[in-house]
Copies of this chain bind each other. A is one copy, B any other.
Amino acid sequence: MDIKTYMQDLGIKARTAAKEISRTESGKKNLALLKIAEIIEQNQTILIAENQKDLAVANQNGLDAASLDRLTISAKSVVAMVEGLKQVAALTDPVGEISNLSYRPSGIQVGQMRVPLGVIGIIYESRPNVTIDAAALCLKSGNACILRGGSEAIHSNQAIAACISEGLAASGLPIETVQIVTTTDRAAVGELITLKDYVDVIVPRGGKSLIARISQDATIPVIKHLDGICHVYIDDKADLDKAVKIADNAKTHRYGVCNAMETLLIAEGIAAKILPLLTDIYLTKGVELRGCLKTCSLVPQAIRASDEDWHTEYLAPILSIKIVHGLDEAIEHISQYSSAHTEAIVTEDYTRARRFLREVDSSSVMINASTRFADGFEYGLGAEIGISTDKLHARGPVGLTGLTSLKYIVLGDGHIRQ
């Protein structure tokens, strides 16, 4: 079978499974999730053994340490998968929820019912845990999915997929609810993102270049997350303690994550006071500082930031710092350079806090809190399939609700239009 036919075949099967899973009641979906968890647990040895095959090849090919780490399935990651499945099973099922049902002057009742999107295509890099997370979220939200993980994880993914299939079958659900692409041919991605008749939305997870390429070529809507150039603005009315805590946490809690701060904006009225405190912390933790002219005059250890720096998501212990006149310039800078992921203000000033909240156009806008909170778990979504920096459909962390849509429902009693 050629790639085109193979992918189309997956699509057709997914569409059929989607119809059934969209109607499956919560209890049955939850039992399936718990059954899969049980099977994953029982098959720990097999999963780790299959993962070793992938790791051996990856080592031979000289994969870098961070990638190897993400590729590895350990006893600990099996526990995390099992926990993840249980957590998704415990989430409230959004499907079928009816909202805003009210009478109209004509006598009809109009409301909206939450429904699954249909078939979700997920394209990700070599992280086997994504296979289980994505499958769980799609299943719970009543969607079928086609998963295309990185080729380096092919044995791991097939082993996980076998557990999922077994769990679905044991629960009386169609095994095509979750399908993984078993070919490592890259052409499969090109087919998947153009399967208009069978796939309703594509969720790419991975590096910026992967996502940019997929968005470029897809003829199906893409829920995408390009990059996280997140800002913290410390206002001159900020509480110094809160500002130091937040600016520290937002940068140094974890470096390689999309919700880490990349640029710190400081009001000039407070810069001389707070910069020495922060510089101490950052330098102790080994963070390289790149500043504007004013910053460099206050922080001798900082090197001059170029315009390129304000555009850069470092994902590393590097921070760019800019001293601004005040709120207006901070909002202006954010509007120009931010990737619209997450921005925070630190201030005790009511009016400025209110303006920041309203005027900053990012997927998450925060007052006196660390940007690191921008996360599905922290927001109470339970889990996330990704973080959207788009505006349409889903914005910010995308959980179960983001994998659903709303249809209108009308209840009448023989009503006709006059």
Contact = CB atoms under 8 A, between A and B. Distances in A.
Interface of A: 19, 22-23, 96, 102, 104, 106, 108, 110, 113, 115, 117-118, 200-201, 221, 239, 241-242, 245-246, 248-250, 253, 335, 344, 346, 357-359, 361-370, 372-374, 378-380, 391-393, 395-397, 405-417
A197 to B, nearest CB: 13
Contacts of A239: 414
B412 A368 contact: yes
Given A366-B410, A372-B417, 18 more contacts: A104-B378, A106-B378, A110-B373, A113-B357, A118-B361, A201-B392, A221-B392, A246-B414, A246-B416, A357-B409, A362-B407, A365-B407, A365-B410, A368-B415, A370-B417, A373-B410, A373-B417, A395-B408
Contacts of A363: 407-408
27 contacts: A22-B359, A23-B359, A96-B358, A102-B380, A104-B379, A106-B373, A108-B369, A110-B379, A113-B357, A113-B358, A113-B365, A117-B392, A118-B361, A200-B391, A239-B414, A249-B417, A357-B409, A361-B407, A363-B408, A366-B410, A374-B410, A378-B417, A391-B405, A392-B392, A392-B393, A392-B405, A396-B407
Oligomer copy total: 2
A397 B408 CA distance: 9
B379 A408 contact: yes
